[in-house]
Amino acid sequence: MVEKAPSSYHHGDLPATLVRSAMEMLDEDGDVELSLRAVARRAGVSPGAPYRHFPDRLSLLSAVAAVGYRELMADLVSRHPEPKTADDLAGLAVGYVEFALSRRGLFRVMFAEGCDRTSPDRVAAVEAIHAYLGAAVERIFETDNPPALATGLWAAVHGLAFLHVDGKLDTTSEQTIRDRVRQTVKALLSAKLV
């Protein structure tokens, strides 16, 4: 059972409070099933209060995902503001997997839950990540199709993240994870067609 927030909610920015409460719940238990009722209880508001801002669970999850995408973007940019080398890309891949492992619940909401594809905040956050990765690919590679290459690289790293999150790859050592991700990305980038 999820406990109520230490102090009850009193006027202010209820949507932000609900999103923050949902994220706290995800950080405490990555397997928690978010519901509007549970998030309202956590925020200290009536069960009907969230519906004034989030008409359904999907809209709340989209708002949470948007914050997650912005946090992921900030983490990636802090590692490499303008990735220029294959080593930089490998470092971003490590950061992506580390984010997934440290924020499992949030990562699942971002990528495994349904979402409102028309949510302006969510769309803008996803587009920012796409633009960042696309610009990196254009700086680093000679390719006729940068968007396709960026998507392929993201898919590979995303797969590594979920393999780690789901326990399919060894996560007993942070260094083992970093080494595996770096080696995998470098192997993909250096492979030649026969």
Residue 164 near residue 97 (C-beta atoms within 8 A): yes
Choices 3.20.20.70, 1.10.357.10, 1.10.565.10, 1.10.10.350: CATH for 56-190: 1.10.357.10
Q: What is the mean pLDDT of residues 17-33?
A: 93
Percentage of residues of the chain with pLDDT beyond 70: 94
Instruction: Compute the distance between CA of residue 74 and CA of residue 66 in angstroms, rounded to an integer.
Output: 12
Q: Is the pTM of this model over 0.85?
A: yes
Q: Which amino acid is at 36?
A: L
Residue 104 near residue 117 (C-beta atoms within 8 A): no
Mean pLDDT of the chain, nearest integer:
91
pLDDT(17) > 70: yes
Which CATH number applies to 1-55? Answer: 1.10.10
**pLDDT classification of 122: cutoffs 50, 70, 90:** very high
Domain ranges of the chain: 1-55, 56-190
- pLDDT value for 10: 52
